[in-house]
Structure 1
Amino acid sequence: MNLDDATAPHCTICHRGLFADELGHHACRPCTRRIDEHLAAIPGLYARLSGALAPGSGSGGPAVSGSRTAPLPLRLEPLSLAARGGVVTVLQTWLIDWFELLGFRHPRWEGGLQDQCDDVVDRLRINLPWAAASHPAVDEFAREISQLRRQCETQVTGERPPRRVRVACPCGQPLAFTLDTLGLRCPNCQTQYGHSELLSLPLAERAAA
Structure 2
Amino acid sequence: MNECGLCEQVLEDGYLCPGDTLGLAERLERMPRLYEALAGFLTPAARGLGEAVSRGPAVATLPVDEAVLDLRYGGIALVLESWLSAVQEARGWGQPAVQGSPEGRVYRAARSLGANLEWIAAAYPAAGDLAREVREMEGAALSIVGALPDRGRRLGQCVAVDASGVICGAVVWQRPGQKLRCDWCGSSYQTEQELLVLLHGLSKAGAAEDVA
Q: Which bracket does the TM-score occupy, shorter chain normalised?
A: 0.5 to 0.7
Q: Equivalent of 2:9, from 12, 16, 41?
A: 16
Distance in 2 between residues matched to 1:79 and 1:155, nearest whole Å: 11
- The residue that corresponds to 2:68 in the other structure is 78
Q: 1:118 to 1:15 in 2, by over 3 A?
A: same
Deviation at 1:56, TM superposition (A): 2.2
1:31 aligns with 2:24: no
Deviation at 1:114, TM superposition (A): 0.1
Decide which structure has the larger Cα Rg and report it: 2
Deviation at 1:137, TM superposition (A): 1.1
> Secondary structure of the residue that 2:116 maps to in structure 1?
helix
Distance in 1 between residues matched to 2:70 and 2:48, nearest whole Å: 22
RMSD of Structure 2 on Structure 1 (CA) = 2.6
Question: Contact between 1:65 and 1:71, CA under 8 Å: does it hold in 2?
Answer: no
TM-superposition CA deviations, 1:22-71 (whole Å, max 9, x none):
x22011111100111111111101011111011128xxx95989997332
Using structure 2 for the length normalisation, give the TM-score: 0.62
Q: Equivalent of 1:69, from 45, 59, 72?
A: 59
> Secondary structure of the residue that 2:10 maps to in structure 1?
coil
Query: Which amino acid is the alignment partner of residue 32 of structure 2?
Result: P
Q: Equivalent of 2:77, from 88, 95, 98?
A: 88
Using structure 1 for the length normalisation, give the TM-score: 0.62
Q: 1:103 to 1:9 in 2, by over 3 A?
A: closer
Distance in 2 between residues matched to 1:86 and 1:14, nearest whole Å: 24
Question: Contact between 2:32 and 2:107, CA under 8 Å: does it hold in 1?
Answer: yes
> Secondary structure of the residue that 1:30 maps to in structure 2?
helix
Question: Contact between 2:5 and 2:129, CA under 8 Å: does it hold in 1?
Answer: no
Distance in 2 between residues matched to 1:151 and 1:50, nearest whole Å: 14
Deviation at 1:157, TM superposition (A): 2.5
TM-superposition CA deviations, 1:98-137 (whole Å, max 9, x none):
0001011111123200011111100000001111111111
Report sequence identity in percent: 29
Query: Which amino acid is the alignment partner of residue 14 of structure 1?
Result: C
Alignment of structure 1 residues 99-114 onto 2, 5 Å: 99-114=88-103
Alignment of structure 1 residues 89-168 onto 2, 5 Å: 89-157=78-146
> Which segments of 5 or more consecutive residues in structure 1 lack a partner in the other structure?
1-7, 160-209
Q: For CA contacts below 8 A with separation 6 or more, give which structure has more relative contact order.
A: 1
Query: Which amino acid is the alignment partner of residue 55 of structure 1?
Result: P
> Secondary structure of the residue that 1:86 maps to in structure 2?
helix
Query: Which amino acid is the alignment partner of residue 4 of structure 2?
Result: C
Question: Contact between 1:46 and 1:82, CA under 8 Å: does it hold in 2?
Answer: yes
> Which segments of 5 or more consecutive residues in structure 2 lack a partner in the other structure?
149-212
Distance in 1 between residues matched to 2:89 and 2:3, nearest whole Å: 26
